[in-house]
C-alpha cells in the first residue's frame, strides 16, 4: 500500500480537501486504484449532531444500518436475544470532505473512511473494558496511536470502486492545522505509520498559505508563514516531501525559489496552487507542474502492475475531466438558482448541493449563478424588522430561473420556505424540494390545494390538527446522534407515473437507489387525499409505505424528493434528479432527457 498524507499549516480552510482529491484524481488517470481517508481530530463520534452553520454540511455515504454483536466482560459473544447489549450502529454521517473524494474519484466510501478522535477513543475504551489490553495501563502512546495506525491500514484495503480491487494508493487528509493540540496523537500516529509503511511507500504533501501584503496586485508575497509551518511539521516528527502553496494569485518564481531554499527542498517539490475560475481546474494546475511525476518518483509507482483496461479508463477519465473544465471557460449563457435555505450564512452548509448544481450546469452548457436566500427574510416579520432584506430576498426569488428548497431541521425559516414553494408552484417556476423541502411542499399543497384544515408537521407544528408529516415510527426518539434513516435505500417508481418528467431521465429502470438522512416522513394516511387533489407520489419505498418522490403533472418541473440527490452527484456523472431540475430551468429538458433517459 502506498500512502499520501495531506496536512495543512498556517491557517485552517486552506484547501487540503481539494488538493487531496485532485491528487487522487491524477493518480487514477494513470490506472491506479485510489482510496481516501479523512482524519478529524474532534471528539464527536461523527458530524451528525454538529451545527451546519458552524461546521458545514453533514455528508452521508451508502452505509446502511447494521447490527454489531458486542463482546461482554465474560468474553462470550452475545446473541440477538440479549436485546439490552445488542447495538444497532447507525452509519454514514461524516465530514463534508468525504464528498470531495467521492465526487472527484468516482468512489463509494464507508463510515470507516472518516476517523475522529471520538471513534478512536471509543474503540480503545471498549476494548479496555473487555480486557483486550490484558491489564496494561492504557495510554495515548502506544494504544491510541497504534489504534489509529491499525484503523488506517485496515480501511485502506477496502475496495471503493466498481472494480472491487484493493486500492493501490490511499490519500490521507489530516484535518485541522499542524500544531493544534487535538491533532497531536494523529501526527504521532502517521509519523509511526511512515516507518511502518517503509521507504517509497509514504509521501507527504503539506499545504501552506502564502499571504500577500498589502493585499492586491502590488503586494509582496510573504514566505515566512510557510517557513514556520514547515518547521512545525518537522518538529512534530514528519518530513514533507512536497509543499503545496495556496495563494490568491500565481506565485512569482522568486517566491517559489525562496520557499524551496529556506525549507531545504528541490524546486520541483514546491507546487503553487493559486485561485482559479473553478475548483475543477486544480487537477489541471497540479498536472501542469508535474505533481504526478514527482509522486511517481517518491512512491516508485511505476512498479505497480496496471491492467491495460484500467490505464485506458484512466486516460478517458482525464480527457473527460479536461474537456468539462475547459468548457466552463467558454460559457456565456447563465442559469440562476435561488437556494432558499435556513443556513445560507455559511455556504459550506450546502456544499454537496452547490456542487451537484455545478455538475448539472456543465452538462447543460450553462454558467451557474447561485442566489443564496435566507428563508427567514421571506417571512412577514422580516418586512417589519428589516424591510431591505425582505424586499431583496423576494426580488431574488421572483427573478430567479428556478427555486430549490433544501433540507434542514427546526421551525425557523420554514414559513419563508413555504412561501417560496407557493411562488414556484403558482408561477410555474422550476422547483426542486429536498428532504425538508419535500415535506414543506406536501404541507403547502395540503393547505392551499387539498384544503386540509390545519395541516402541519409533527416536528414543526406539534399542535396541528392534521399532521401531513409524522415522526417515523421506527426511529429512536430518545437520542439525536446517529438515529435517523441513513444511507442508501431503494425507491420504486409507481404504476401509472410514466408521464413523470423525473422518471423519464432514468429510462425504463423500475427503481433507483439514493442516499437518505431524515427522521420525519409523509403521513401514509393522508396520501390518498393528496393524490386526489393532484399531488402525485411518483416514487415510494419497496414496501410502498414511505413516500420518496412527489411531482405535479401540469408543471414545467415541480419535483420534490425525500432523499438527498446531491450525495450521489459526481463531476463526470451528475445526479439525474438535479440535472432534470437545472435542465428545466435552462430550457433544455427535452435534449437532456433524450440523452440521459436511455436505458442504463
220-235 pLDDT per residue, tens: 899 999 999 899 889 8
Whole-number Å distance between alpha carbons of 111 and 48: 12
Count of alpha carbons within 13 Å of 112, Cβ hemisphere only?
17
H-assigned helices in 56-183: 97-105, 117-129, 145-156
Report the DSSP beta bridge partners of residue 7: 206
Taking CA atoms, 600 is separated from 126, 154, 573, 579, 595, in Å, by 45, 34, 12, 16, 11
Ranges 45-54, 100-109, 508-517: which has the least confidence: 45-54
What is the share, in percent, of the chain residues with pLDDT greater than 90? 68
- Give the mean model confidence (pLDDT) for residues 91-106: 86
Ranges 57-66, 245-254, 430-439, 461-470: which has the least confidence: 57-66
Would you say residue 472 has pLDDT above 90? no
In the prediction, which pLDDT does 477 show?
62
Same fold, 2-44+140-315 and 331-597: yes
In the prediction, which pLDDT does 404 show?
98
The residues spanned by each domain of the chain are 2-44+140-315, 331-597
* Nearest in space to 586 (alpha carbons), one of 370, 365, 338: 365
In the prediction, which pLDDT does 54 show?
81
- Give the mean model confidence (pLDDT) for residues 454-470: 91
In the prediction, which pLDDT does 312 show?
87
* Nearest in space to 47 (alpha carbons), one of 11, 93, 8: 93
For 86, phi and psi rounded to 5 degrees?
-90, 120
Instruction: Write b or e for each residue in 465-487: b if 16 or more Cβ atoms lie within 10 A of its Cβ, otherwise e.
Output: ebbbbbeeeeeeeeeeebebbbb
Would you say residue 217 has pLDDT above 80? no
In the prediction, which pLDDT does 433 show?
97
Would you say residue 94 has pLDDT above 50? yes
Would you say residue 600 has pLDDT above 60? no
For 232, phi and psi rounded to 5 degrees?
-65, -40
Would you say residue 326 has pLDDT above 70? yes
In the prediction, which pLDDT does 332 show?
86
In the prediction, which pLDDT does 476 show?
62
Q: What is the mean pLDDT of the chain?
A: 89
Model confidence at 424, pLDDT cuts 50, 70, 90, reads: very high
Would you say residue 185 has pLDDT above 50? yes
In the prediction, which pLDDT does 82 show?
39
Burial class of residue 135 in the structure, from the number of CB atoms within 10 Å of its CB (0-12 exposed, 13-18 middle, 19+ buried): exposed
Tell me the CA end-to-end span of the chain in Å, nearest whole number.
34
* Nearest in space to 37 (alpha carbons), one of 134, 137, 120, 130: 120
Burial class of residue 233 in the structure, from the number of CB atoms within 10 Å of its CB (0-12 exposed, 13-18 middle, 19+ buried): buried
Cell numbers found for residue 581: 431540475
Catalytic residues: 435, 564, 566
In the prediction, which pLDDT does 495 show?
94
Model confidence at 305, pLDDT cuts 50, 70, 90, reads: confident
Would you say residue 529 has pLDDT above 70? yes
In the prediction, which pLDDT does 61 show?
87
Would you say residue 422 has pLDDT above 60? yes
More confident residue, 597 or 266: 266
More confident residue, 14 or 503: 503
Long-range CB contacts (within 8 A, 24+) of 475-484: 475/519, 480/48, 480/49, 481/45, 481/46, 481/48, 481/49, 482/45, 482/46, 482/48, 482/89, 482/90, 482/91, 482/93, 483/90, 483/519, 484/48, 484/90, 484/93, 484/516, 484/517, 484/518, 484/519
The string of pLDDT tens digits covering residues 388-400 is 999 999 999 999 9
- The fold adopted by the segment(s) 331-597 is Rossmann fold (3.40.50)
Would you say residue 362 has pLDDT above 50? yes
Would you say residue 474 has pLDDT above 80? no
- Degrees, nearest 5: CA angle 182-188-192: 155
Model confidence at 90, pLDDT cuts 50, 70, 90, reads: very low
More confident residue, 239 or 53: 239
Statement: the pTM of the whole predicted model exceeds 0.85: yes
| E-strand stretches of 175-316 | 202-209, 212-213, 220-221, 242-247, 270-274
* Nearest in space to 291 (alpha carbons), one of 104, 30, 591: 30
Superfamily of domain 2-44+140-315: P-loop containing nucleotide triphosphate hydrolases (3.40.50.300)
Neighbours of 492 (CB within 10 A): 17
In the prediction, which pLDDT does 364 show?
93
- Give the mean model confidence (pLDDT) for residues 530-554: 94
Would you say residue 591 has pLDDT above 60? yes
Neighbours of 106 (CB within 10 A): 18
- Degrees, nearest 5: CA angle 436-441-447: 125
* Nearest in space to 586 (alpha carbons), one of 340, 400, 324, 371: 400
In the prediction, which pLDDT does 479 show?
61
Would you say residue 86 has pLDDT above 50? no
- Give the mean model confidence (pLDDT) for residues 574-586: 96
In the prediction, which pLDDT does 599 show?
53
In the prediction, which pLDDT does 176 show?
84
More confident residue, 448 or 94: 448
Whole-number Å distance between alpha carbons of 521 and 474: 11
In the prediction, which pLDDT does 481 show?
58
More confident residue, 87 or 249: 249
User: What DSSP state is assigned to residue 176?
Assistant: S
Would you say residue 72 has pLDDT above 70? no
Model confidence at 83, pLDDT cuts 50, 70, 90, reads: very low
In the prediction, which pLDDT does 70 show?
35
In the prediction, which pLDDT does 95 show?
85
Amino acid at each position: 500500500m502506498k500512502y499520501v498524507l495531506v496536512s495543512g499549516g498556517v491557517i485552517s480552510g486552506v484547501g487540503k480537501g481539494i488538493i487531496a482529491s485532485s491528487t487522487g484524481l491524477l493518480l487514477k488517470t494513470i490506472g491506479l486504484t485510489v482510496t481516501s481517508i479523512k482524519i478529524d481530530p474532534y471528539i464527536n463520534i461523527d458530524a451528525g449532531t454538529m451545527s451546519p452553520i458552524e461546521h458545514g454540511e453533514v455528508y452521508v455515504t451508502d452505509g446502511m444500518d447494521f447490527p454489531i454483536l458486542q463482546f461482554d466482560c465474560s468474553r462470550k459473544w452475545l446473541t440477538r436475544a440479549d436485546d439490552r447489549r445488542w447495538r444497532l450502529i447507525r452509519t454514514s454521517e461524516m465530514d463534508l470532505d468525504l464528498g470531495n473524494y467521492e465526487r472527484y474519484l468516482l468512489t463509494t466510501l464507508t463510515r470507516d473512511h472518516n476517523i475522529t478522535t471520538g471513534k478512536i477513543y471509543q474503540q480503545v475504551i471498549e476494548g479496555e473494558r473487555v480486557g483486550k489490553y490484558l491489564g496494561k495501563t492504557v495510554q495515548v502512546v502506544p494504544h491510541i496511536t497504534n489504534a489509529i495506525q491499525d484503523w488506517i491500514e485496515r480501511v485502506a484495503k477496502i475496495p471503493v470502486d466498481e472494480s472491487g480491487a484493493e486500492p493501490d494508493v490511499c490519500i490521507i487528509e489530516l484535518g485541522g492545522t499542524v500544531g493544534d493540540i487535538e491533532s497531536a496523537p494523529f501526527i504521532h500516529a502517521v509519523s509511526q505509520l511512515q516507518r511502518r509503511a517503509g521507504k517509497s511507500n509514504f509521501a507527504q504533501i503539506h499545504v501552506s498559505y502564502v499571504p500577500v501584503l498589502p493585499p492586491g496586485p502590488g503586494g509582496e508575497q510573504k514566505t515566512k508563514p510557510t517557513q514556520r509551518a514547515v518547521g512545525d511539521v518537522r518538529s512534530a516528527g514528519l518530513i514533507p516531501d512536497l509543499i503545496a502553496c495556496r495563494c490568491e494569485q500565481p506565485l512569482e518564481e522568486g517566491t517559489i525559489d525562496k520557499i524551496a531554499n529556506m525549507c531545504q527542498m528541490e524546486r520541483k517539490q514546491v507546487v503553487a496552487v493559486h485561485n482559479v475560475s473553478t475548483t475543477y481546474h486544480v487537477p489541471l494546475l497540479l498536472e501542469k507542474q508535474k505533481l504526478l511525476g514527482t509522486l511517481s518518483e517518491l512512491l516508485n509507482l511505476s512498479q505497480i502492475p496496471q491492467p491495460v483496461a484500467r490505464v485506458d479508463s484512466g486516460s478517458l477519465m482525464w480527457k473527460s475531466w479536461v474537456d468539462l473544465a475547459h468548457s466552463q471557460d467558454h460559457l456565456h449563457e447563465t442559469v440562476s438558482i435561488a437556494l432558499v435555505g435556513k443556513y445560507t450564512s455559511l455556504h459550506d452548509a450546502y456544499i454537496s448541493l452547490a456542487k451537484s448544481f455545478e455538475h448539472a450546469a456543465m452538462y447543460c452548457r450553462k454558467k451557474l449563478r447561485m442566489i443564496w436566500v435566507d428563508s427567514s427574510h421571506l417571512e412577514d416579520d422580516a418586512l417589519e424588522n428589516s424591510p431591505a432584506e425582505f424586499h431583496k430576498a423576494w426580488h431574488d426569488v421572483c427573478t430567479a430561473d428556478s427555486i430549490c428548497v433544501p433540507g434542514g431541521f427546526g421551525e425557523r425559516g420554514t414559513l419563508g420556505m413555504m412561501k417560496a414553494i407557493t411562488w414556484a408552484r403558482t408561477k410555474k417556476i422550476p422547483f426542486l424540494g429536498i428532504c425538508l423541502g419535500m415535506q414543506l411542499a406536501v404541507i403547502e399543497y395540503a393547505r392551499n390545494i387539498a384544503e386540509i384544515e390545519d395541516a402541519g408537521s409533527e416536528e414543526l407544528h406539534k399542535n396541528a390538527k392534521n399532521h401531513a408529516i409524522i415522526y417515523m415510527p421506527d426511529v429512536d426518539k430518545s437520542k439525536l446522534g446517529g438515529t435517523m434513516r441513513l444511507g442508501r435505500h431503494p425507491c420504486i417508481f409507481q404504476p401509472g407515473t410514466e408521464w413523470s418528467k423525473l422518471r423519464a431521465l432514468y429510462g425504463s429502470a423500475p427503481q433507483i437507489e439514493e442516499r437518505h438522512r431524515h427522521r420525519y416522513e409523509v403521513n401514509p394516511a393522508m396520501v390518498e387525499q393528496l393524490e386526489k387533489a393532484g399531488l402525485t407520489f411518483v416514487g415510494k419505498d419497496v414496501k410502498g409505505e414511505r413516500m420518496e418522490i412527489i411531482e405535479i403533472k401540469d408543471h414545467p418541473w415541480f419535483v420534490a424528493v425525500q432523499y438527498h440527490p446531491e450525495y450521489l452527484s459526481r463531476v463526470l456523472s451528475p445526479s439525474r434528479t438535479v440535472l432534470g431540475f437545472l435542465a428545466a430551468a435552462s430550457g433544455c429538458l427535452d435534449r437532456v432527457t433524450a440523452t440521459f433517459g436511455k436505458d442504463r
